Structure 1
Amino acid sequence: MDFPAITHHGATQGVTGSCHQLDLDGAQSLLVDCGLFQGDESSPAANLAVDFPIEGIKALLITHIHIDHVGRIPSLLAAGFNGPIICSQPSARLLPLVLEDAFKLSVTRDQNTVDRYLKRVEQAIIAVPYDQWHELINTPDLICNVRLQRAGHVLGSAYIECDIHYLKTATNKRIVFSGDLGATLTPLLQPPKSPERADILVLESTYGDRLHEDRTHRQQRLEQAIDQALADHGTILIPAFSAGRTQELLYEIEDILHRKALLSAEPCQGEQEPRQGLPIDWPQLPIILDSPLASRFTQAYRELSDFWNDEARQRLSEGRKPLRFRQLITIDSHVQHQKAVNYLASTGRPAIVIAGNGMCSGGRIVNYLKAMLGDPRHQVLFVGYQARGTPGAVIQASEGAEGFVMIDLDAEMYEIKAKVATLGGYSAHADQKGLVDFVTGMQQWPAQIVLVHGEWRAKRALAAALFIHYDQMEHKVDVRISGMPTDS
């Protein structure tokens, strides 16, 4: 085997389960992410198994804290891994929250066991500042340094540069793992910048076959969707994952409410009543965050405001509270949750509910769906990717469908009568242009690109787009689609 070499333990047949092993030589390797599979890609065996040898893995490098990138860490530790967990400073604050939740779901809820596990995790975490090289290995034969750069996907997200020096042969290799790259104009986050160079780039391709809608007006489209849905005096249900999307939504909803409040203070300005003529009391409209985990993440986001972008920090300096505004109601206990579900399902009180999880495959959003999908007053508003096989994908596909559509939730069938809408421009992933720009923005383009973390169609389309740009510059590139029989 020639070194360095890359082996993929996930994110090859689809978009989840990200886990990649970088073999530096015959005895030492690094692991980049260790995530759960979701949707059609998931199974109890796949999600709990670490079916690869862990001997020689010197460190686990984390690109970001989403569950499809870190959810198998409990299994990795149970298999005997005891090396450091390298991540960015914000991820070091957020990662224990994710891993505690994953541990409780997959192992046990016994608090003493959970506490021992979290202590072990926290002792293993090494927080590395952005833009600084960190030495991992220094032997007479090999030196390996890593650097984390902002990826713009979620707070703390990073792409990882691995700089490998083989001293006996006086050769150097730069391997870059993109993780999940963010789209432009993402609230709270600074955008990603391309690395200087890469010899090999392991590149995500989730949206490699499409272009996103214009993001400059996405908040305006969100406001319009809220106006239209609340005109029926129903509840807007927004499925959202606890970290990232929830905080983005709160940030933009706060700005909408801020402007609505300014307009309501100025008579004759703005549309004060929705189309059906039923007034909405905007200053009293409840924004319900129904997820204990999302609430903890939101609190952590507030504490990490030093890592926000300039616009978000400017709002703070003006005395605004983008993630803790007056109308925000957080629900923690299950009793409070059930009361909220029953109240909103039985009354005509307009409200916006943000609840997990983002693909409707579990979490508190499911109880809202069971109670409200059968009522046309309500609306399910999707703002994120729905993986194949998830309830969210089924509900999303019912948008505009003729006749009735049924959905299986917890082994019971429910008719979908509620309105269903999908709001574009909210993807946390770069689109095809963003992915290509990440590559072509380098001073030295990679000679080899390995496409992971995408459906077949997305990978093939992205590969074709990359070939076009390389041909135009008369550069050569070896593009490999992970998971194909020819992939090495």
Structure 2
Amino acid sequence: MNDYPQIRHHGGAEGVTGSCHRLQLALDRALLVDCGLFQGQDADGDSAFEQHQVAFSVDDVLALLVSHVHIDHIGRLPYLLAAGYTGPILCSVPSARLLPLVIEDALRIGFTRDAQLIERFLDEVDGRLVALEYNVWHTLLDDARHCVKVRLQRAGHILGSAYIEVDSLERASGKRQHTLFSGDLGAPYTPLLPAPKPPHGCDVLVLESTYGDRLHEQRSSRRARLKAAIEGALENAGTVIIPAFSIGRTQELLYELEGLIHAAKESRWRELEIIVDSPLAARFTQLYRELKPYWDAEAHRLLRGGRHPLSFDNLTTVEGHDAHQRTVAYLASSGRPAVVIAASGMASGGRVVNYLAKMLGDPRHAVLFVGYQAPGTLGNDIRRYGPRGGWVEIDGERIDIRAHVESISGYSAHADQHDLLNFIRRMRKPPREIRLVHGDAHAQAALKAEIDAWAKAAGHHVDVVANASETHPLVTDVTPT
């Protein structure tokens, strides 16, 4: 089979994590888009180390293109380099600043705490990074066989996130294809970030579908619910625990909380302590502050008005482990209202687990989920069983859930079904093929049905592929090692 370009998946085709997609330009030439870790139900339990090994060929990979720096999109980078990948790592300018922090954290957790080894690896990564400005075509390859250009456009998911356009020309046949990899698309009105704008069009679209089966709350509604959850903490003298990823969600929440405190008239709001208990989140927040040129117009209006949405008086950061333990013990027993934002976002590890272990059994406290909770994670179990008076197990101990549990979908950094459809509908040249990835089976099926219905009504012929296996369609002449 010599009909190139072709797409194959090394993760993320049938689940929500582990995104890794290959654009095969020829038998001996390919691009790789993202290389992420598997998490939650997608992870293979005791065999996770083997699952993350790069068992596909990297000899033909010309470049790794990074959509954004969440761990489920770049977490397999150490494995990729260990497998022998020697090419460049292309990403946006903000992502080039953020990526080393994510990889350093991943190395410390999953590989080694040897500072010298980590420093050597980070130096290696730094030497490979190629930072690209948004909306500018970059020529990746131009020779007698191919001309390949890539362009990054704002995706509105986290700072630095991009959807990736690849324009490829095979000179011998004259065949040209415009392939678009969505990465993770953000929802409109995401704090700090401009909403993604679709391109003129593409031939093939690889589209995320995390929330392909549902709609989010509006921003006004989610702010009201966030405020109500905190009002409950103020009334009950309890803590609102918010599991949140260190990059993206934490900064968006700080932005919203600063707005609520600024608008509040009651003194108890003015005195409410907002605690970020994550050294990594604190470092990311500092980088977010330094990357103000990439904020949206609304955030810049606040800055011009003297507001500092990521640095305000009520904000406290917990650094060391001893300080973390003291904070957990104090909030669990003191009766002082507070909001704690701590990683991880799915409560699958990190400092937030210690807060949950101490506070889930106390009705004074609340747990507020503001993002996707993958099946198989502690966060998903608490979200499912908490409202029913159920229980979870943490570190071998059964804990009855007496704390209030609530979810606010409007804070998702992912586009919902309506937003995903709009991304397609607003292209002047709709794709002839759409491959749905980064979503569970139900989400992909629901989104496929909506796209099919739209295409039929609009008179467009669009081939929508859902739940593609990791190796379909295969490039049969390239055998995984």
> What is the alpha-carbon distance in structure 2 between the residues aligned to residue 484 and residue 112 of structure 1?
39
> What is the alpha-carbon distance in structure 2 between the residues aligned to residue 228 and residue 281 of structure 1?
12
Distance 1:426 1:350, change over 3 A: same
Could you say what the CA RMSD is over the residues aligned between the two structures, in angstroms?
1.3
List per-residue Cα deviations over 1:79-119 (Å, max 9, x = no partner): 11111000001101101110110111111011111111111
* Residue 175 (str. 1) matches residue 179 (str. 2): yes
**Residue aligning to 2:138:** 134
**Residue aligning to 1:254:** 258
* Residue 330 (str. 1) matches residue 334 (str. 2): no
Question: Which of 186, 195, 200 lines up with 1:196 in the alignment?
Answer: 200
TM-score (norm 2): 0.95
* Residue 222 (str. 1) matches residue 218 (str. 2): no
List per-residue Cα deviations over 1:428-477 (Å, max 9, x = no partner): 11111111111111111000110111111111111111111111111111
> What is the alpha-carbon distance in structure 1 between the residues aligned to residue 220 and residue 399 of structure 2?
37
Matches within 5 A, 1:22-421: 22-43=23-44, 44-260=48-264, 263-264=265-266, 281-401=268-388, 404-421=389-406
List per-residue Cα deviations over 1:18-74 (Å, max 9, x = no partner): 000110011110000000011111132355311111111010000001110000001
Deviation at 1:398, TM superposition (A): 2.2
> What is the alpha-carbon distance in structure 2 between the residues aligned to residue 413 and residue 207 of structure 1?
31
Structure 1 contact 37–46 (Cα < 8 Å) conserved: no
> What is the alpha-carbon distance in structure 1 between the residues aligned to residue 472 and residue 447 of structure 2?
17
Distance 1:230 1:175, change over 3 A: same
List per-residue Cα deviations over 1:345-382 (Å, max 9, x = no partner): 11111110000001011000001111111111010111
Runs of 4+ in structure 1 deviating by more than 4 angstroms, as ranges, are 484-487
Structure 2 contact 9–469 (Cα < 8 Å) conserved: no
**SS across alignment from 2:122:** helix
List per-residue Cα deviations over 1:313-354 (Å, max 9, x = no partner): 111111111001011000110000000001011111111000
Aligned-partner residue type, residue 200 of structure 2? E
Number of equivalenced pairs = 469
Larger relative contact order (Cα-Cα within 8 Å, sequence gap ≥ 6): 2
> What is the alpha-carbon distance in structure 1 between the residues aligned to residue 390 and residue 463 of structure 2?
45
> What is the alpha-carbon distance in structure 2 between the residues aligned to residue 26 and residue 472 of structure 1?
38
> What is the alpha-carbon distance in structure 2 between the residues aligned to residue 435 and residue 10 of structure 1?
21
List per-residue Cα deviations over 1:223-250 (Å, max 9, x = no partner): 1221123210101100000000000000
Distance 1:16 1:486, change over 3 A: closer
List per-residue Cα deviations over 1:269-290 (Å, max 9, x = no partner): xxxxxxxxxxx72222111000
List per-residue Cα deviations over 1:124-171 (Å, max 9, x = no partner): 110000000001111101010000000111111000000001111122
> What is the alpha-carbon distance in structure 2 between the residues aligned to residue 229 and residue 287 of structure 1?
12
Distance 1:485 1:333, change over 3 A: closer
Distance 1:472 1:365, change over 3 A: same
**SS across alignment from 1:368:** helix
**Residue aligning to 1:469:** 454
Structure 1 contact 285–327 (Cα < 8 Å) conserved: yes
> What is the alpha-carbon distance in structure 2 between the residues aligned to residue 61 and residue 46 of structure 1?
24
> What is the alpha-carbon distance in structure 1 between the residues aligned to residue 131 and residue 318 of structure 2?
31
Structure 2 contact 217–408 (Cα < 8 Å) conserved: no
> What is the alpha-carbon distance in structure 2 between the residues aligned to residue 312 and residue 349 of structure 1?
31
> What is the alpha-carbon distance in structure 2 between the residues aligned to residue 412 and residue 56 of structure 1?
49
Structure 1 contact 452–482 (Cα < 8 Å) conserved: yes
Aligned-partner residue type, residue 371 of structure 1? K
> What is the alpha-carbon distance in structure 1 between the residues aligned to residue 82 and residue 343 of structure 2?
27
> What is the alpha-carbon distance in structure 2 between the residues aligned to residue 393 and residue 230 of structure 1?
26
> What is the alpha-carbon distance in structure 2 between the residues aligned to residue 211 and residue 422 of structure 1?
14
User: Percent identity among equivalent residues?
Assistant: 52
Structure 1 contact 130–150 (Cα < 8 Å) conserved: yes
> What is the alpha-carbon distance in structure 2 between the residues aligned to residue 183 and residue 145 of structure 1?
27
Structure 2 contact 22–33 (Cα < 8 Å) conserved: yes
Deviation at 1:212, TM superposition (A): 1.3
Structure 2 contact 441–467 (Cα < 8 Å) conserved: no
> What is the alpha-carbon distance in structure 2 between the residues aligned to residue 206 and residue 3 of structure 1?
28
**Residue aligning to 1:273:** none
**Residue aligning to 1:269:** none
Distance 1:486 1:462, change over 3 A: farther
> What is the alpha-carbon distance in structure 1 between the residues aligned to residue 203 and residue 183 of structure 2?
17
> What is the alpha-carbon distance in structure 2 between the residues aligned to residue 56 and residue 22 of structure 1?
11
Structure 2 contact 9–470 (Cα < 8 Å) conserved: no
List per-residue Cα deviations over 1:155-201 (Å, max 9, x = no partner): 11000000001111122100000000111110000110011111110
> What is the alpha-carbon distance in structure 2 between the residues aligned to residue 134 and residue 185 of structure 1?
29
Aligned-partner residue type, residue 116 of structure 2? N
Structure 2 contact 240–366 (Cα < 8 Å) conserved: yes
Deviation at 1:205, TM superposition (A): 0.6
Higher mean displacement: 44-53 or 127-136: 44-53
